Structure 1
């Protein structure tokens, strides 16, 4: 197991499970594609391979986006927010980002809870 750069590891504020929230956006459009979680190993792999790697809370294991579906994410940039508890991951998305087959996990009218109404 490779280790995350100690300077990056020192800066991160993880939740009680040792995870950091990752907000994933499409590089070309800045649309939010999905939200996932990373532990130190997932972040290290993401930074060194440029293949988006996340931690599955339900399975308790790492997963590489697109490894089985082919819907990959090539990582262009990773930023840490001002509180150091959230990552912004800019990717080139191949295929849908959502497991439902939608381009983003936020597509679909049924997912809108509040929106501005047009005049």
Structure 2
């Protein structure tokens, strides 16, 4: 089992933006790593305190094949100077890939969280 990380920012705290952002981020995490929903043991999603319009997991539930993927929402730790309007994800997946073969996905302003990983594309 391996963990795949992802993060994305939104411009506005609306249900539509939250759902679209989560669908894009999680779909890209799966696509870049050759992961199918049946490979996923769990998907943990966190949101900064300024995201209140919807549960991010509801957006992930809209992805085809995610009917049976266990999803969990949580709140990110509020850190001074942190990136606002940010949703993070951790997919726990069954894969034979080595840790250095995993491709983590950071979109929009969240790319600033892990510039070291973004260089490996």
Query: Would the TM-score normalized by the shorter structure come out above 0.5?
Result: no
Instruction: Answer 1 or 2: higher relative contact order, Cα 8 Å, separation at least 6.
Output: 2
Q: Pick the structure with greater CA Rg.
A: 1
Which structure carries more strand by proportion?
Answer: 1
- Calculate the TM-score normalised by the size of structure 1: 0.31
Hey, which of these two has a bigger chunk of helix by percent? 2
Provide the TM-score with structure 2 as the length reference: 0.30
